[in-house]
Every structure is written in structure tokens, then in C-alpha cells.
């Protein structure tokens, strides 16, 4: 199945399994996605391989960043008319508190979309949306 067919299938059925399995890094960290109406919520389940600090224990900062960047790219694919993977131009991440060894969630918001560039805000949290563990801004180059 080609990427285009996978993206089409995901958009038509709302089943993200094939799409996420086609992205090696998403599979490795265990990224999951669910649609609630028009909203997409991304989930990073507890996984020992994602830990960076076993003493706390806390999720590796790079895993949190990768989870958020991948979430933004998938969000952008699902919110646009084109079915191509956008290319990252810039990614700025603010860690706000330790990402402890528990399920982590992320949601994205498109803040600007021009003809060539889209800006996405990403918020990651664990226990409560009102207490984010990280926020990020991603800029993507759009190709039609």
C-alpha cells in the first residue's frame, strides 16, 4: 500500500493504525492517535524504552520532542486537502515540567497556514491539560 493510499484510508475510516505502522519512529515510541469529532488527540503510552532518567523515572526529552513533532505532522496531514507528509522547517520546544513515566497526551492547533508554510502549536500533558509538560511551535513547508 502506498503512502497516498494509507493517508486516504486513514482520512476515510478514521483508523490511524496503518498510517502509524508505516512510520518507523511512531511505531518505535508507540504513538497512537484518536479522533474525537474534529479533534485529534495523540497518545504516548507508558513504555520503558522511552525513559531517559530511570531514577525519577522520566521520559527522555528527545522522545517527548519527537512525539510532539510527529503529532504535528500527522495533524497537518489530516487537516489539509493534500495527502503528502509536510517537511519540518523549524521546531521550538519548551519543557515545562518532567514527563514522568505515565501516559502522555498531545493536541495540536493550526495557527497559520499560507500557500507554502503552516505553523502548528502543540501542547503535551499527562494528568491534566491545565498542567502541560511541554509546549512547542512547529513550522512546516507545504508541498502540493
Handedness of CA 94, 96, 101, 102 (dihedral sign): negative
CATH number for the domain spanning 51: value is 3.10.129.10
Report how many domains make up the chain: 1
Cell of 65: 520532542
Cell of 22: 508505516
pLDDT (tens, 9 = 90+) of the chain, 144 residues, equals 787 788 888 888 889 999 999 999 999 999 999 998 888 999 999 999 999 988 999 999 999 999 999 999 999 988 876 667 789 999 999 999 999 999 999 999 999 988 889 999 999 999 999 999 999 999 999 876
Predicted TM-score (pTM) of this structure: 0.93
Q: Which domain holds residue 89?
A: 3-141
Amino acid at each position: 500500500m502506498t503512502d497516498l493510499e494509507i493517508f486516504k484510508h486513514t482520512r476515510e475510516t478514521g483508523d490511524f493504525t496503518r498510517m502509524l505502522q508505516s512510520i518507523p519512529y511512531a511505531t518505535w515510541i508507540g504513538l497512537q492517535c484518536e479522533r474525537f469529532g474534529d479533534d485529534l488527540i495523540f497518545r504516548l503510552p507508558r513504555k520503558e524504552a522511552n525513559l531517559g532518567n530511570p531514577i525519577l523515572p522520566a521520559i527522555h526529552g528527545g522522545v517527548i520532542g519527537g512525539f510532539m513533532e510527529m503529532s504535528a505532522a500527522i495533524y497537518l496531514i489530516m487537516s489539509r486537502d493534500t495527502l503528502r507528509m509536510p517537511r519540518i522547517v523549524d521546531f521550538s520546544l519548551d519543557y515545562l515540567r518532567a514527563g514522568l513515566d505515565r501516559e502522555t497526551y498531545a493536541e495540536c492547533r493550526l495557527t497559520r497556514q499560507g500557500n507554502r508554510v503552516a505553523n502548528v502549536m502543540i501542547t503535551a500533558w499527562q494528568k491534566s491539560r491545565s498542567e502541560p509538560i511541554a509546549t512547542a511551535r512547529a513550522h512546516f513547508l507545504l508541498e502540493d
